Amino acid sequence: MSVPEDEERLLPLAQRWPRASKFLLSGCAATVAELATFPLDLTKTRLQMQGEAALARLGGSARESAPYRGMVRTALGIVQEEGFLKLWQGVTPAIYRHVVYSGGRMVTYEHLREVVFGKSEDKHYPLWKSVIGGMMAGVVGQFLANPTDLVKVQMQMEGKRKLEGKPLRYRGVHHAFAKILAEGGIRGLWAGWVPNIQRAALVNMGDLTTYDTVKHYLVLNTPLEDNIMTHSLSSLCSGLVASILGTPADVIKSRIMNQPRDKQGRGLLYKSSTDCLIQAVQGEGFMSLYKGFLPSWLRMTPWSLVFWLTYEKIREMSGVSPF
């Protein structure tokens, strides 16, 4: 028994603890991608909150105080009215979120692909298995990361509240966690988790499924090898599909997470994600579900590109097999 144990100690960490290593590697890649593209995520969230019909019915003056502005004007408005560094407001909980979310979804997807579903003898992975695996991975990763996502969305709106003359709700990330926990309990940290995992399932069906399918199709059916060109083409495709599938659920998720709540932690604007969907379509039209699509797509595509290139590279450097 001593020989195998001695040999195991000589193995690289990535081989000794493969799942933990993949979790950490994906978290590192997600951090790089998040820092590079976060201003577009902030712009997207602000756009999704503008012209909220339910808030006007509650007694707010959303339409008057926040006229609808496009992506560029919204981003420039944040810089001019709040300062350049405010483009990264909420980036700390966003990084926390992506370390948990990306780590959870990547480990889950690979476990399902390699162990539960399995590939065929010719290394082919059927599309239907990839779709199911991507959706399940998104659900697991997002459920684990929901508290950090909640804090991220609410902190992204603090600058807007300050401009409207409203008191700031949080002094920082840890104060936000503590206040939400004190007001809504553990349940409050999972506010909006239903639309959140719905969005994550759709986004990962677009991101993981598309990347995995396109990459292996190119490797198996074209002269392209498993290199940076293949990774780039696959990630560009995955970013577009993920944006198309995920934007409506992202709008619903952001509104439910940002809505005011009573002392019991219950939302004052929407009873459920379905209620939010109906109110948005009836009050603002179907295309309101695609508010923020342009910054979402412009953010998702470079995020996907940076994430997958970084992830594949650090896997190679760490001695882990390609995704």
At 164-185, the pLDDT tens digits run 777 878 887 888 888 888 888 8
Give the pLDDT mean for 59-84.
Answer: 71
- 143 vs 18, more confident: 143
Alpha-carbon gap, residue 138 to 223, rounded angstroms: 32
Residues 308, 30: contact at Cβ < 8 Å? no
Which tokens is 12 given?
């690289």
**pLDDT at residue number 5:** 57
Give the pLDDT confidence of 233-263 residue by residue, as tens digits.
999 999 999 988 888 888 887 788 778 777 7
Give the pLDDT mean for 36-64.
Answer: 70
**pLDDT at residue number 173:** 82
The string of DSSP codes covering 205-270 is HHHHHHHHHHHHHHHHHSS--SSHHHHHHHHHHHHHHHHHHHHHHHHHHHHHHHS-B-TTS-BSS-
**pLDDT at residue number 62:** 46
**pLDDT at residue number 154:** 80
Alpha helices in the chain (DSSP H): 2-10, 13-16, 18-49, 53-58, 62-65, 71-82, 91-111, 127-156, 158-163, 173-189, 193-221, 228-258, 273-284, 293-318
Which tokens is 322 given?
């390609």
Band (pLDDT 50/70/90 cuts) for residue 63 is: very low
Alpha-carbon gap, residue 190 to 186, rounded angstroms: 7
Which tokens is 173 given?
């990330």
Q: What is the mean pLDDT of the chain?
A: 83
- 211 vs 266, more confident: 211
pLDDT at 125 over 50: yes
- Chain-centroid distance of CA 272 in Å reads 20
- 274 vs 295, more confident: 274
Band (pLDDT 50/70/90 cuts) for residue 1 is: very low
Percent of the chain residues past pLDDT 90, beyond the cut: 26
Which tokens is 172 given?
């920082």
Give the pLDDT mean for 43-52.
Answer: 74
The pTM is what? 0.74
Provide the residue ranges of all domains of the chain, joining segments of one domain with +.
Answer: 198-291
Percent of the chain residues past pLDDT 70, beyond the cut: 86
**pLDDT at residue number 32:** 92
